[in-house]
Structure 1
């Protein structure tokens, strides 16, 4: 399948975003109850971790020093500003992930399971009743399995990029290309490559979670199906992920400015700052729920597709039947040999 034209991809992304927002507003009471009861603890843990991790006494410096030693042993130039910034951001991300992992494995996944269960069992014009606790728990297990494999996928993506950068830097150094301009160009190229690989990995992770919820089967198979399903739709997926992630980053910055900064200057956390922090965490939770709706709508917009390889020896297809006609989604077709 060929990649859509950028203008067509932007149009598709805009349509999906509008439909997602319409769905959220149409069922505002249900989605906001999920935000208040389930997603809020996860959002609060993410925002609080952004404030606690930099001031932690041992965790962040330990991870930073370990990564710095790894970069030095790999032969990356110590004077490169790119690796210095990358090391700092990776250290913060790992430290924050360790702090929030209990909330991620519980509140976040249960929130996603509730949203997917609700959207997956809707009727053409109206939505069904709220999903029961047992139905949500039945989706939680596949989501948990997929989330664990998603973690390995993110680690593999980072390891792949670092391996390529290691080969590139040592190859150029071996041939005597170690000028500052060359290192700057290679660092900039590495930053672009790292951003593209990580963005695609995160998109596949989000789509695999939706697949796990709709098909009730988690693990690595959901990731493989997501990789096949996203073929030719990468530009659309990136266009959908960009505004949501920018909004999440803006709320994190707002929390740092309005709560963490004010608390630092005042020397204590007042009741007004606590209420403002709770409101900001609520807004973060709204975006978490909306992001799940967007991922579901993107998954639903993927039409049946099939392809054959260049030699015409094999063909494989992925088919998702319309929910209105058969009550659910189909499974991935197996590879079959052509005569």
Structure 2
């Protein structure tokens, strides 16, 4: 039997290729209903990332985190912790201010995609009212995943606090080299834990939309399904995050820079900014589709582990050809 822990780049590329294929087969729905539902969230994120870093709100969060690091005995004056403090304060501010759009626009967009991929009536487009049947479970899971992410951050900083103080008191190591080493180690551990947490939370949200399981039950089941597929999940997350970061950089270069230098008129900047935000929404739709395929990949591997079967059918709706039956073995997706 194939070793599921050795997942290659081929599995990630196959999932992305199938995601694009499904998107193009149903492009009328995904580029209108789903993308327009995600559009307000995309606009909020791009605007907040462009104008929030220089506000007093972010500086207040930065100062509070700096004081917290000092009180915990962490080397807050080191360059790495300064960078971490800056990025963390911006992330907290953007997440807090984009909170209404995350729980409305983004969740409704995801609900529309889940409904479109699992609808058993291919001849009819899913109505907006049908998204509400998935919204309650998605909302509960989103609230639980937010608490899990906050808990993961608190756990990481607690472990860093104990590790740094134990090494500092036990070995009396206060040299710049030691501070740099402990800072790099802490940053790697923090990034790994946070990335794994985000992947599990994202998979739990997909599970809620497809199987209508909400809350911590979805998170626990996601932890069970993700085993052996962490490499694929990390690659998918990295690829789509890089794509989203590229659109954010494009917004900074084309819109924010032009706005500050007043190179063009406000109407032209607004139209171009809306187009870039629409591209951002399209990437969010593609990311959600790939997450659904990754969920089916994990489900396939787990079913093969438990039952010893080889083929596993995944039915994903095709609104032009009524249905696309994809019979995949674990070899194809991994």
Q: TM-score, normalised by structure 2?
A: 0.87
Is 1:256 aligned with 2:256?
no
Counterparts of 1:16-27 in structure 2, within 5 Å, are 16-27=15-26
Structure 2 Cα separation of the partners of residues 54 and 15 of structure 1: 37
Counterparts of 1:213-228 in structure 2, within 5 Å, are 213-228=209-224
In structure 1, the partner of 2:72 is 74
In structure 1, the partner of 2:241 is 245
Q: Residue 70 and residue 118 in structure 1: after superposition, are their counterparts in 2 closer, same or farther (change >3 A)?
A: same
- State the secondary structure of the residue aligned to 1:131: coil
In structure 2, the partner of 1:337 is none
Q: TM-score, normalised by structure 1?
A: 0.86
Q: Residue 216 and residue 35 in structure 1: after superposition, are their counterparts in 2 closer, same or farther (change >3 A)?
A: closer
Cα shift readout 1:164-213 (whole Å, capped 9, x = no counterpart): 11111101110212211111111111111111111111111111011001
Structure 1 Cα separation of the partners of residues 294 and 159 of structure 2: 31
Q: CA deviation at 1:252?
A: 0.7
Q: Residue 88 and residue 3 in structure 1: after superposition, are their counterparts in 2 closer, same or farther (change >3 A)?
A: farther
In structure 2, the partner of 1:144 is 139
In structure 2, the partner of 1:85 is 83
Q: CA deviation at 1:133?
A: 2.5
In structure 2, the partner of 1:48 is 47
- State the secondary structure of the residue aligned to 1:211: helix
Q: CA deviation at 1:111?
A: 0.2
Cα shift readout 1:242-271 (whole Å, capped 9, x = no counterpart): 110000011111111111111111188611
Question: Retained in 2: the 8 A contact 1:172–1:178?
Answer: no
Bigger RCO of structures 1 and 2 (CA < 8 A, at least 6 apart)? 2
Counterparts of 1:280-291 in structure 2, within 5 Å, are 280-291=276-287
Q: Residue 280 and residue 227 in structure 1: after superposition, are their counterparts in 2 closer, same or farther (change >3 A)?
A: same
Structure 2 Cα separation of the partners of residues 21 and 122 of structure 1: 21
- State the secondary structure of the residue aligned to 2:98: helix
Question: Retained in 2: the 8 A contact 1:122–1:128?
Answer: no
Structure 2: 5+ residue runs without aligned partners?
A: 307-311, 316-334
Counterparts of 1:188-207 in structure 2, within 5 Å, are 188-207=184-203
Question: Retained in 1: the 8 A contact 2:114–2:209?
Answer: yes
Is 1:168 aligned with 2:166?
no
Q: CA deviation at 1:306?
A: 7.2
Question: Retained in 1: the 8 A contact 2:35–2:282?
Answer: no
Question: Retained in 2: the 8 A contact 1:113–1:139?
Answer: yes
In structure 1, the partner of 2:302 is 305
Q: Residue 2 and residue 160 in structure 1: after superposition, are their counterparts in 2 closer, same or farther (change >3 A)?
A: farther
Is 1:33 aligned with 2:32?
yes
Structure 1 Cα separation of the partners of residues 8 and 35 of structure 2: 34
Q: CA deviation at 1:135?
A: 2.0
In structure 2, the partner of 1:135 is 130
In structure 2, the partner of 1:158 is 153
Is 1:296 aligned with 2:292?
yes
- State the secondary structure of the residue aligned to 2:174: coil
Structure 1 Cα separation of the partners of residues 265 and 52 of structure 2: 17
Structure 2 Cα separation of the partners of residues 129 and 86 of structure 1: 48
In structure 2, the partner of 1:4 is 5
Question: Retained in 2: the 8 A contact 1:68–1:87?
Answer: yes
